[in-house]
Amino acid sequence: MNHDSSLEHYRNGTPHNTAKQGDLAPLVLMPGDPLRAKHIAETYLEGARQINAVRNMLGYTGTYKGKPVSVMASGMGGPSMGIYSYELFAFYGVESIVRIGTCGGLTAAVEVGDIVMAMTASTDSNYAHQYRLNGTFSPPADYGLLERAVASARARKVSHWVGGILSSDVFSLYSALPVEEGWERWAKMGCAATDMECYALYCNAAFLGKKALAMFTCSDSNVSRKEMSPLERQTALTSMFEVALDLA
């Protein structure tokens, strides 16, 4: 697809987004949950206005400390993240997307409530097949965003972990494989947490020459079996939100 020639076609929205050109800020925070996007917009952004509600994938643009910021849901899984992040990057002039979500801890190094920043993402998906690469592609975070996020977490004295994570098409607790053949193998290779969207986001950023970072709050641990309640998942992720907003 020729991205430039498609801009005019999508000037008044895409099949998945009714936002107009200019409605989105250069930086978009992207939780999976639409209600989480709504919560962030209403809690942190000044002058927030809704720019999208297609399939209830809520999106808003406002300002944070005088700087423009958008927040929009991605939905669940790599394919959904792939669609929404691609459109934001390719058709709306978005330069940076910061995924803010929850993850599962795969080692004792990550405790429930910790922030995890994905330096790179491994996967069991076939998302990178589209690039016809003669090998295995491992997409990284944008170093500038990662460096600033780490600095923010340190300044705020927020417990955090930085390294490789696993983006899986299979929710690890529901895997048909025995533990020792499933997530434990990834954990032994240094993947201390798992999500479902990071790999697709990082691939899109690499392909389109954009910037991306995924950070998560660990909501449950495969090791300790501790987990947050649904209400905590919705509202108790304040530290992660604030670190992400510091990137504006």
Return per-residue pLDDT of the chain as tens, 248 residues: 445 545 566 767 898 999 999 999 999 999 999 999 999 999 999 999 999 999 999 999 999 999 999 999 999 999 999 999 999 999 999 999 999 999 999 999 999 999 999 999 999 999 999 999 999 999 999 999 999 999 999 999 999 999 999 999 988 667 777 777 789 999 999 999 999 999 999 999 999 999 999 999 999 999 999 999 877 776 679 999 999 999 99
Q: Which of 23, 33, 142, 220 is catalytic?
A: 220
Kindly give, in sequence order, each residue whose CB lies less than 8 Å from that of residue 161, ignoring residues fewer than 6 positions away.
Answer: 109, 110, 114, 115, 116, 117, 192, 193
Q: Would you say the C-alpha torsion 104, 108, 109, 114 has a positive or negative sign?
A: positive
User: How many residues does this entry show for the chain?
Assistant: 248
4 is catalytic: no
E strand or H helix that includes residue 167: strand 160-167
Kindly give, in sequence order, each residue whose CB lies less than 8 Å from that of residue 177, ignoring residues fewer than 6 positions away.
Answer: none
Q: Which domains does the chain have, with CATH numbers?
A: 3-245 (3.40.50.1580)
CA distance 217 to 171: 16
- pTM, two decimals, is 0.93
